Structure 1
Amino acid sequence: MPTKKDVEFDQKAWKEVSEIRKELLKSNFQQDLKLEEHWNHLMQMYKGDDYMGDFIDREVEGFRHPIQSYMDYIFNGYYPPPELLMWIYNKLLDYYSASGQLELEYAFFGKRTQNSGNDAKRDFFHRLYQDFHHHMIMRKQNSRKPKRELTQVKLAEDFFELNKPFLNYFPDYDSFLRQYRRWKKLYSDN
């Protein structure tokens, strides 16, 4: 699960992306102007797209980390905005310029948090708790059973049973729910 330090680091990463965008918009360099011109052309093409065209917003940080945003654009068949590409370019430049003294994980995600593993592991649990949280909300809203019968343990059992084909992780429900509550304190408004 991402820690408080991870959240701070992720916010710093998004701030870097935002700064790159400001620099690109002020720039007079031909390469920067071309990136922006090409992006504007793509946005015109995306406007009529029923799926996502009207929802692409460069100002919105809908993901925990810029890499996740980049992956979402690619997965959905869209080119990422120039500032996201430049941010990734800068991180790779930092990595290669360090001549082997910097790990790729550190370049993109910062220092490893002891006992939390790498970013992929932390992100897996973040998404797992997030999915479980939404599962609980939906089950409670759509259930005909009295709310007192919908215990967190029963909801966890139901969640893992439904997701069995997609998961390689089957926890002890009590420890899963303890971790979920910690996650909820950090991330959830509900």
Structure 2
Amino acid sequence: MKDIKNLSDCNSWDYVRTLRHDLLNDEKTFSVMEPIWELILLQQTHFCSMVEERSIQLEDDFRSDEKFADNPLLAFMKCVERCQYPPPEIIIAINDCFRLYFAGGGKIELEEIFFANRRIPKLGNNSAQIAKHDKHNLFQTLCKMESHKPKDKRKSMVVLAEEYLGKRGLADKDPESFLRQHRAWLEDQRSSEQN
């Protein structure tokens, strides 16, 4: 693991680029992974071209960094979701993230390593914030769709919220409370767009 200044450096494209340079120039023990990865990629490309009915599409350039994903963890996940082998430098970077986490002996949160921040009181960790955003973003989409219906066919916001919460397995949640949270979320979205 290279010297790092911040805990989240291992999950950065700068770190991956350094690893890639070392791998491609035989400057690292892991450089043996490069020719193996190229063989896997070649076989996978050959397999996908032979099996036309399968809808596997290979990414043209795994090594386009920010164009491929926002960070190495998301690139790793994207590769797995597409049934593709990630490049060795991404595997090594993710491995280094976990090594750093375990070396911290419980004093470091994965949140700090993967997302450069600690858990925020009342907002939660990164995944809780994303889940909250996704939940309200989807509800907002439903609200917009509802607003395009003729007035006499539109559901009230309370009814829309009840149905939405019911479909998400949250029927016991108070729709009025959810709508207050949704209005606060909308306000946060508007203010962040203005900044």
**Does structure 1 retain, via aligned residues, the 8 Å contact 2:162–2:171?**
no
Structure showing greater Rg: 2
**1:53 and 2:54 are equivalent in the alignment:** no
Partner of 1:3: none
Residue 105 (1) aligns with residue 76 (2): no
Query: Which residue of the partner structure matches residue 189 of structure 2?
Result: 184
Distance 1:67 1:84 in 2: 8
Consecutive unaligned residues of structure 1, counting only runs of 5 or more, are 1-9
Percent identity over paired residues: 17
Corresponding residue of 2:173: 170
Alpha-carbon distance change, 105 to 55 in structure 1, aligned in 2, over 3 angstroms: same
3-state secondary structure, aligned to 2:123: coil
TM alignment of 1:130-169, pairs within 5 A: 130-137=137-144, 139-140=145-146, 144-146=149-151, 149=154, 152-164=157-169, 167=170
Inter-CA distance 70–129: structure 2 relative to 1 (3 Å threshold): farther
8 Å CA contact retained: 2:41, 2:85? no
Alpha-carbon spacing, 1:169–1:72, altered in 2? closer, same or farther (3 Å): farther
The answer to which structure, 1 or 2, has the higher relative contact order (CA under 8 A, 6+ apart) is 1
| 2:31 corresponds to 1:28 | no
Question: What SS class does the counterpart of residue 121 from structure 2 fall into?
Answer: coil
Change (3 A) 1:117 1:144: closer
TM-score of the superposition, structure 2-length normalised? 0.60
Please report how far the alpha carbon of residue 66 of structure 1 lies from its aligned counterpart in structure 2 after TM superposition: 5.0
* 1:68-107 alignment runs, 5 A limit: 68=74, 70-75=76-81, 77-107=83-113
* Residue 41 in structure 1 maps to residue 38 in structure 2: no
**d(CA) in 1 for partners of 2:61, 2:182:** 34
Please report how far the alpha carbon of residue 103 of structure 1 lies from its aligned counterpart in structure 2 after TM superposition.
2.8
- Whichever residue aligns with residue 177 of structure 1, its letter is H
Structure 2 alignment gaps of length 5 or more: 1-7
Residue by residue over 1:158-187, the C-alpha shift from the partner in whole angstroms, topping out at 9 and shown as x without a partner, is 3223333xx588352322312430453378
**Pairwise CA distance, 1:112:** 1.9
Question: RMSD across aligned C-alpha pairs, in angstroms?
Answer: 4.3
Q: How many residues in Structure 1 have an aligned counterpart in Structure 2?
A: 174
Q: What is the TM-score when the length of structure 1 is the normalising length?
A: 0.61
Alpha-carbon spacing, 1:174–1:20, altered in 2? closer, same or farther (3 Å): same
Rounded to whole Å, the distance in 2 between the matches of 1:102 and 1:35 is: 34
Report how far residue 91 of structure 1 moved: 0.9
Answer yes or no: is the 8 Å Cα contact 2:161–2:179 preserved in 1.
no
Structure 2 residue 119 is matched with structure 1 residue 119: no
